Amino acid sequence: MSELRIDLPTEQRSFRPGEAIEGVVSWTLDAAAHAVEVRLLWYTRGKGDGDVGVADLVRFDAPASADSQIFRFIAPNGPWSFDGRLVSLVWAIDAIADLKGLKSDLVRRVDLTIGPDGRPVTLTSTALAPGDGADDDGSDDAGA
């Protein structure tokens, strides 16, 4: 059975912008692979359609059937991880083995937090100012 692992040397999962994110990706594959990629990415979860953005990646072409490789990323300046009522943004490291001749790839994910003080930003709702065109009745008070 094929196996793919992401190991971070410390149990740290929270990072500040500019900090190094280092780890090891290890695999044992039953089928030949075109490549193994490790991606630093963010994704949204919650209400509505999800979004994904890849900040950086490392690719190991024509990998051996069993191997381990070191990867290193720098936590970017943004976007910051956040928790909102309707949607959240989460950073992650994905390892993907692009297996030859198979319809699905082997994927592993480790979620991370990137933000000031290494914590997600908590979003709060703010009231709109009077006369901004968003009154309860939908009218614009500018001409009143």
Amino acid at 121: V
Q: CB count, 10 Å around CB of 141?
A: 11
The tens digit of pLDDT for each residue in 36-84 reads 999 999 999 998 889 999 999 999 999 999 999 999 999 999 999 999 8
Span 95-124, mean pLDDT? Answer: 88
Span 93-101, mean pLDDT? Answer: 91
- Per-residue confidence (pLDDT) for residue 117, from 0 to 100: 87
User: 144 has which bridge partners?
Assistant: none
- Per-residue confidence (pLDDT) for residue 11, from 0 to 100: 84
Number of residues in the chain: 144
- What percentage of the chain's residues is helix, strand, coil (to nearest 5)? 5, 50, 45
Nearest-CA neighbor of 84 among 43, 50, 123? 123
The tens digit of pLDDT for each residue in 115-138 reads 998 888 887 766 455 555 444 454
Amino acid at 46: G
> Tokens for 92?
């992650």
Residue 26: pLDDT above 70? yes
Q: What is the pTM of this model?
A: 0.81
Residue 24 near residue 36 (C-beta atoms within 8 A): no
| H or E stretch at 92 | strand 87-99
Architecture of the domain made up of 3-121: Sandwich (2.60)
